[in-house]
Amino acid sequence: MQITRTRTSSGKSGRELTPLLAGAATAAGGLGALLALTGSHSPLRAPLVLFFLLAAPAAGIAAALRGLDPFARTLAALAGSVVLNMLVAQGMLATHRWSAGGGVVAMAVISALILLSVLLLRRRTAKGRGV
């Protein structure tokens, strides 16, 4: 029995494009954060910063929700990302410390803490299983 693979028009399978898309999304988000922190007046600043503010916490939340099917995980991660952004904005407004750069830094720190906690939890459970 011979197994055939479905190829895309570029000749690569769909699974080989996933790391490329993840890298492009990371680069776009990082560029958005950089543009916001440097105070650039580029026309790409607003869409890339918005992408960073939605994608960074969504990536951490999606990593934590590994057991769900992909559509449910994506939907829950995006909803959680919006909630985290609103909480950060509300907290910054309540303390009279609102700034675009501060919001980007706050979301970067929160996203990094979520990802770090997920990685540490996975490492702990892997050690507990003797892997």
Sign (positive or negative) of CA dihedral 85, 87, 92, 94: positive
Q: Tell which wins on pLDDT, 2 or 21.
A: 21
pLDDT band at 131 (very low <50, low <70, confident <90, very high): low
The two structure tokens encoding residue 22: 């993840």
- The 10 Å CB-count burial string (b at 16+, else e) for 31-70 is bbbebbeeeeeeeebeebbebbbbbbbbbbbbbbeeeeee
> Tokens 């190829």 correspond to what residue?
7
pLDDT at 91 over 90: yes
111-117-120-122 Cα dihedral, nearest 10 degrees: -90
Question: What's the predicted TM-score (pTM) here?
Answer: 0.79
Sign (positive or negative) of CA dihedral 127, 128, 130, 131: negative
Q: Read off the pLDDT of each residue in 100-116 and give the average, rounded to a whole number.
A: 93
Per-residue pLDDT tens over the stretch 25-51: 889 999 999 999 998 899 999 999 999
